[in-house]
Structure formats: C-alpha cells, structure tokens
Amino acid sequence: MGSVRHETQSIDDIVRTHRHAVTAFTRSMVSESALVDDIVQETFIRVWRYLPTFRGEGSFEGWIIRICHNMIRTTMKRRKFTEPIEADIESPVDDYGSFDMLDLVATLSPDHRAVTVMCLVLGHSYEDAADILGIPIGTVRS
C-alpha cells in the first residue's frame, strides 16, 4: 500500500510541476476549452502509464510535451479539427507586445504554432523543440 501512495504523490508532483506548460502548449493548438482540459488530463494519464518507459535521453518536460503533442494530433485527426485557435496563451513575452504576437501565432499552421510555442513561450531550445516534436532542426530554425 505504501508504493501506491508513493506513486500517487509522484504523479501529483508531476502534474503540479508541468501542468502550466502542458496547458499552455495545448491552448496554443486547440481553441475549445473542454477539449483542452480533456487533452491535458489524457496527457497526464499517459505520462503516468508510460513513466517506466522514460529513458532520460532528453528533458522530462520535453517528453511530456511530446506525449501532449501526439495527443493533440490524434484528437485533431479524429475530430477533423480545423477551426482557428483563440489567442489566449499565457506567456512570458508580455513586454514585447504579446497580444499582437499571440494573434499572429493563432494564424500559423499547427506545426509552425507548435514550434513557436515550444521555443518562445515555453523557452525550449531549437534542438529540444526539434527532438520533442520529431522534426529536423533545420525545420525548426526556418
């Protein structure tokens, strides 16, 4: 019984630590609030389920964002999701006219939006973003 309690505390810590990044990333890709909540919840369920498979080859948050990105893509394919997003991302770039920037981010394709959010909002390097999203570094830089 002690190990179950320990695992529960561990997943609670993971959710508490990474919820903001996962939610911000999901909001940047999906406009429907209920769907954002569902994807965030399912992301953490999968993190808990696949935690033993994390090999530590990249950042832990990057691994979680990759799971989230895959969830978003799967969900969008299932729903044939095509509506544009709302520009309501919380980000640390407020000093640089974030409202205008977020409006611009909302017009990007899903792949370009993912790269932009990974690098500018969540603060990941180009190399991390390429690895997390499974795309070439040159694509991220362009």
Residues 13-62: tens digit of each pLDDT: 999 999 999 999 999 888 888 999 999 999 999 999 999 999 888 889 99
Segments forming the whole domain that contains residue 50: 2-141
Q: What is the pLDDT of residue 81?
A: 46
Q: What is the pLDDT of residue 3?
A: 45
Number of structural domains the chain divides into: 1
pLDDT at 9 over 80: no
pLDDT at 137 over 50: yes
pTM confidence score: 0.70
Residues 83-129: tens digit of each pLDDT: 555 545 454 444 444 556 666 777 788 778 888 888 888 888 898 88
What are 17-23's contacts with CB under 8 Å, separation 24+?
A: 18/60, 18/61, 18/64, 19/44, 20/90, 21/61, 21/64, 21/65, 21/122, 22/64, 22/65, 22/68
CATH number at 75 reads: 1.10.1740.10
